[in-house]
Chains A and B, each alone.
Chain A
Amino acid sequence: MNINATLLAQTIMFALFVWFCMKFVWTPIMNALDERRKQIADGLADAERAKHDLELAAKRSAEILREAKEKVGEIVANGEKRASEIIEAAKEQAKVEGERIIAGAKAEIDQEVFRAKEQLRTQVSSIALAGASKILAREIDAKAHNELLDKLVTEI
């Protein structure tokens, strides 16, 4: 139980073990631990993020569904409106066409009436002329009296 050179040997050995431990044991294991800690933290963060993303996606899909429904309603409403518009327009057009046809027919009738009147007028004038020539029984200078006759014709 004497103090001897073992003391120095132990101190040196101690120093060497500490050095070895620091260099070859502590650092790699601590690195591995840190690495794993980071991986786990990343994993948890990823899971959290995925959960969040899922929530967002669900929200978004609900949104899209709602929008789609809205749009469908709008389209149906538009379609109905458009159909009624078309019907309305067709009605309008039919009315205009009808009126136009009626107007054409009226014009034709007027024309017919006018032509009949004209014809009647010329016939009446020639009849009047014949009647007059017969009644007067005398030669009438057609040339001299044409102006008079024409005036008569316009008066009829």
Chain B
Amino acid sequence: MSSEALTSAEYIKHHLQNLTYGKLPDGTWGIAHSAEDAKAMGFWALNLDTFLMSLLLGAIIMFMFRRAAKSATAGTPNGLQNFCEWSIEFIDSSVRGSFSGKNNMLGPLALTIFFWVFSMNLMDLLPIDYTSLLMHQLGVPFFKVVPSTDPNATFGMAIGVFILVLYYSVKMKGLGGFVGELTLQPFGKWGMPVNLLLEGVNLIAKPISLALRLFGNMYAGEMIFILIALMGGAWAGMSVGNATLYGSQILLSLGWAIFHILIVTLQAFIFMTLTVVYLDMAHQEHH
């Protein structure tokens, strides 16, 4: 707990609040100091924590890969280059495994998705109170350090993927082909409205499932970290009960964090693989 005065509900709320920059109710621009303020800002507001953390993480990942790429030669690779080459080959082989067409963008796309999502998810393993306490000391009221627990981040990526799906669907099948795919199956041309409904749901479900799966997993994981942290937060003087709670927090955090390593990696991999699969479907004729 960052402050003795907070109740459990306030503590949880505090941890789930983004650092939002936008137009305040009094007409000035600034950082929202409560969830209601943030809500009142409407669409034209920016979650600074999500934005800055994802930018920072993405930049670190790209910087690392760029360093390896700059020194990449056919000679004996050094440690970093080795790791990057291994990653790229891993991504490349899994892309080849599920993508049958030929598209030079898919490999870099999958690489970016995997490592970006992975690094964003990985922030979940930072002790939750340390980051918000540190930010508090710096005068920042809220800071959600895991960008993928913000639906803006996950939907942002999913929309990017969705645009690519639409683009390649039209590019590969032509506008007519794509529209035909949406309206002429599975029931032939007399069942057009039903077809459109079914296929439309099918299409829309792709980005939504992508975004919500990642968001849901990371949000739930974060939530459990917060709940575990509450156990030790109930500390009120030296007693057997308090000591037990404190000890269980440590053990449970450890257990959940270790389990979370799996989830972090798995979610990044799933996001990447589904992107590749969706794009593969966009490239294929279904007739």
| A positions within 8 Å CB-CB of B | 1-11, 13-15, 17-18, 20-22, 24-26, 28-33, 35-36, 38-39
Contact A7 B58 (CB under 8 A): no
Query: Which residues of chain B have C-beta atoms less than 8 A from A8's C-beta?
Result: 156
Segment at the interface with A among B83-91, B194-202, B257-265, B276-284: B83-91
How far is B27's CA from A89's CA once the two chains are assembled, in angstroms? 136
Smallest CB gap from A39: residue in B = B74
Query: Which residues of chain B have C-beta atoms less than 8 A from A3's C-beta?
Result: 43, 151-152, 155
| A32-B73 contact in complex given A4-B41, A13-B58, C-beta closer than 8 Å | yes
> Which among B84, B108, B150 is the interface contact of A22 at CB below 8 angstroms?
B108
Contact A7 B108 (CB under 8 A): no
Contact B46 A1 (CB under 8 A): no
Size range of the chain B interface in the assembly: 35 or more
Query: Which residues of chain B have C-beta atoms less than 8 A from A18's C-beta?
Result: 105, 108-109, 112, 160
Query: Which residues of chain B have C-beta atoms less than 8 A from A32's C-beta?
Result: 72-74, 85
Interface residues in B53-108 by Cβ distance below 8 A to A read: 54-55, 58, 61-62, 65-66, 68-70, 72-75, 84-85, 88-89, 92, 104-105, 107-108
| 20 additional A-B residue pairs with CB within 8 Å, beyond A6-B45, A13-B54, A25-B69 | A1-B151, A2-B39, A2-B41, A3-B152, A4-B42, A6-B150, A6-B153, A14-B156, A17-B62, A18-B105, A18-B112, A20-B62, A22-B108, A25-B62, A25-B66, A29-B65, A29-B72, A29-B84, A32-B72, A35-B73
Most chain B Cβ neighbours within 10 Å, of A9, A14, A24, A25: A25
Nearest CB in chain A: distance from B278 CB, A: 15
Contact A10 B51 (CB under 8 A): yes
> Which among B47, B88, B157 is the interface contact of A14 at CB below 8 angstroms?
B157
| A10-B44 contact in complex given A2-B39, A33-B89, C-beta closer than 8 Å | no
Contact B72 A10 (CB under 8 A): no
Contact A1 B108 (CB under 8 A): no
Smallest CB gap from A34: residue in B = B74
